[in-house]
Amino acid sequence: MEHTALKAPSFKDDLDSLCQRIRGAMTDLLTEAGGEPEAPAALSRHLQVSRTLAWRVSKIATATKPLAVLEFLPRHGSIEILLSACQRAGAGERAVERIRTAVAALDELVATHAGDRETLDMMLADDGDTSTTAIMESRRQAFLGNSGIWGIRCRTRFSLTALGPNHAGDGLMDLAMLAGVVGVRRLRTDVSVPLHVRFGYNDDGSERTESQVDSLSGDWVTEDRVPLVREFSVGGDGELLATPDPTGGIRYELAPGPVGNTAQTTWVFGWRESAFASMYADETNHFGEHGVRNLIPAESLQADLLVHRSLPIARNAETMLISGLGGERLGQFAGVRFDYLPMPERLQSIGHEPPVVSSTVVPRYPDMVDLLMQRMKWDINQFVGYRLVMKYPPIPTVAMIRYPLVSRG
């Protein structure tokens, strides 16, 4: 007879089990004390404890996912206040000790595997059962730290990609893009950082060279051919540089300059590419990918994708956040699983015919979209829209919108 070896319980299994123990013990404790676990306000009045404490323990008792217990577990002092209140209300010593024992076991598990609760939260940050609180706090702290390290920050990093059919009707698409940074502040005068990188590639990572790139605004700024859209930018042309990127793209950089709020700048770049790519899968390409490289500490990221309704693309689109620590490889981003970073945000629809492009983080954004549509001679009423919004996008990363291409016919 064959025997299958049972896997030893993992740290996650033990943690799940302890959270379940705490949830069950809390439910029994509150019920034995004559409280209503599903009614925090009534629980607060009955036990004569604060509404915050009653709300937390109610969340624990009614949690549907084990690890959600961690988010609402009160500190030790508050737990003792709760236990005393429950005893006064009629709960027995056994119910009280079940809570103490389960919480003590959790403390021991945390000390063994993580050292403290903050580290535990980071270890669980990409777990589907946890809240996004821990990872968002990590991002916020990274934003503050990176601002000091790199000597610069901005309010918003944004990108708009619009795709429409090529006028020749040959199955090719035209592309138009607006991208940039809002509210850039240098914290040191000697800062020179990339504001945006333009790049195109095939599935195998080779550079796309077939299409002709033109400035969306009709001219190129400076001898370096920077496609600045002046009507939405705040800053002098001399502050910008364009240099080749090691991965084959073009990097638009901010030169050293003055610091602080009075020297804030906003930079909007725009370009268009005719016959950019096929709308169908072929032997070389099976996916469409639109990535935004995060290279400057930003409070917010907004990435929009507008697709003409006649194009058979962007269906079943997904988002991913990819580490740039491995050299920011072009192509096949999605094939390297260990480069994925936790990302609770998901792609959202912003409507169709027309998409609702209003933005709280990019000033005059609808005017930018109008400009793009006018320059491309497109009608926004024929487009559908998608949006990815992130707080404190980590650097260096690529925020990617990805979808499968359909076969021709």
CA angle 397, 399, 400 (to 5 degrees): 130
Distance (Å, whole) CA 291 – CA 321? 9
Q: How far is CA 91 from CA 33, 34, 95, 99, in A?
A: 5, 8, 7, 12
Residue 201: its pLDDT value, please? 54
What confidence tens digit (pLDDT) does each residue in 352-395 have?
878 888 888 898 999 999 999 999 999 999 998 899 999 999 99
Whether 2 has a pLDDT exceeding 50, the answer reads no
What confidence tens digit (pLDDT) does each residue in 164-204 have?
998 877 788 889 999 999 999 989 888 777 776 665 555 54
- Helix/strand/coil percentages in the chain, nearest 5: 35, 30, 40
The 3-state secondary structure of 89-102, one letter per residue: CCCCHHHHHHHHHH
Residue 27: its pLDDT value, please? 85
Residue 334: its pLDDT value, please? 43
> Region 223-252: what's the mean pLDDT?
71
Q: How far, in whole angstroms, is CA 303 from its chain's centroid?
A: 10
CB-based burial, 356-379: b 16+ in 10 Å, e otherwise: ebebebbeebeebbebbbebbebe
Q: What dihedral do alpha carbons 88, 91, 97, 101 form, nearest 10°? A: -110
Residue 327: its pLDDT value, please? 57
Q: What angle separates helix 40-47 from helix 51-61, to the nearest 10 degrees?
A: 120
| CA-wise closest residue to 15 among 79, 66, 71 | 66
Going along 130-192, which residue ranges are E strands? 152-165, 172-186
CA angle 62, 107, 111 (to 5 degrees): 135
SS3 state of residue 250: strand
- Flag the least confident range among 8-12, 136-140, 299-303: 8-12
Could you state, in order of their start, the residue ranges of all structural domains in the chain?
11-120, 150-404
> What's this model's pTM, rounded to 2 decimal places?
0.68
Distance (Å, whole) CA 104 – CA 357? 51
- Flag the least confident range among 276-280, 307-311, 333-337, 361-365: 333-337
Fold type of domain 150-404? Immunoglobulin-like (2.60.40)
What confidence tens digit (pLDDT) does each residue in 81-137 have?
999 999 999 989 999 998 999 899 888 888 887 777 667 766 665 554 445 677 888
What are 349's two structure tokens?
Answer: 């629809």
At residue 323, what is the residue type?
Answer: S
Distance (Å, whole) CA 83 – CA 35? 13
Residue 38: its pLDDT value, please? 82
Residue 210: its pLDDT value, please? 54
Whether 246 has a pLDDT exceeding 70, the answer reads no
Whether 305 has a pLDDT exceeding 90, the answer reads yes
What is the residue-averaged pLDDT of the chain?
81
